Amino acid sequence: MPWTELDEFGKTETSMRKRFFVVGFIVSVLVGGVLGWLWWALGPGSPSSTAELSPVPSLPPLPETEMAAPPPEPSDSSEPSEVSPTVAQGVIDRGRLAVEIRGRHIGTEDYTLERRENGELVLHSQGTLKFKIAFFDVEATFEQLMTFTAQRRPVSYQLALNGPVGIGNRRVSARFGAATGIVNDGERQSEIALPEEPFLLLGMFSSYAVVPLWAQSDGPQKLKVISLRGDRRNQGDIWVVLARVGPVRLRGAQGDALEAEEYLLQSERLTLRVYLSGERLLALHNDTTKSDERFRLYRSDLFADNFKTLP
């Protein structure tokens, strides 16, 4: 090969390497940016809102994972327990959640909510988020662990979010005391003030599985919300009211009817319609007619690819 051609080939190869490097850098930035945006904007708490009735069926156990539940936290003996000895121990709820944002399916989350012998609660979940960037299909996985006292007050939180080839990875951990909580989001550690009143801790989507434990048929519940998604510095105080609407029927995957209770979870900016069966979460969606603001969360193991209320 003549030197002139070698020189031209070398220039072409160098140019191609530069282009590949630039494209790779842009894709990396896009993936990292989208994962950050998913974490901030699409996480729970985002302001974006005569048939025979059959019981809700059970699911097989989730596979074991490396993230183990922490040992039981000691309970404050001076704090009255709200869990009576007759309350069932073991698995309270288990299922697979389908997540839809703006009418598009973006992921699933398998979760288990368990009550320990001393009444304390453990929520363990793992899930997948899928989205498209230009011509690329991108997938991120996550695992979450939340623990609560017998009075449903959060004790600890762990989240591991893993992006493709390590891009956009995030680790979040938190511990909650009587008056303050310490949150480490991998970039900084911050201290947050905790209310004396009951509060609802929101992490990934399955954190809504704790909502049924707060539901009361005899009157509304007012709860402060502490969200661990995104940048918490500008969130301000968020309060919600959980109030019962009444019994409803939902169409199951086989066309059968599932009995449920409908509740409203309302804040100043957002109203969620939540469907429960005892202590189990079935579905929820924001109360809006705008397709670009729709958010839906439902048990895909019960409702296949959709869920509907029946007359």
Please state the domain extents for the chain. 3-46+89-310
Write the single-letter amino acid at 210: V
Whether 278 contacts 286, CB under 8 Å:
no
Q: In this predicted structure, what is the pLDDT of residue 229?
A: 64
Tallying the residues shown for the chain, one arrives at: 311
Cα distances (angstroms) measured from residue 187 to each of 34, 100, 164, 230: 18, 29, 20, 12
Q: In this predicted structure, what is the pLDDT of residue 87?
A: 58
Q: In this predicted structure, what is the pLDDT of residue 235?
A: 57
Q: Which residues pair with 130 in a beta bridge?
A: 139
Pairwise CA distance, residues 161 & 171, whole Å? 6
Chain center to CA of 23 = 32
| Closest CA relative to residue 62, chosen from 110, 98, 108 | 110
| Closest CA relative to residue 39, chosen from 155, 162, 182 | 162
Q: In this predicted structure, what is the pLDDT of residue 49?
A: 33
Beta strands (DSSP E) in the chain are 53-54, 90-101, 104-115, 121-133, 136-148, 154-162, 170-176, 180-184, 189-193, 199-202, 221-227, 238-251, 257-266, 271-277, 280-286, 295-299, 308-310
Compute mean pLDDT per 10 residues along the chain, 311 residues long, and list them: 39 43 39 46 41 38 44 41 54 94 90 94 95 77 95 94 81 93 88 88 94 92 82 66 94 81 91 94 89 86 81 82
Q: In this predicted structure, what is the pLDDT of residue 46?
A: 47
> pTM for the full model?
0.73
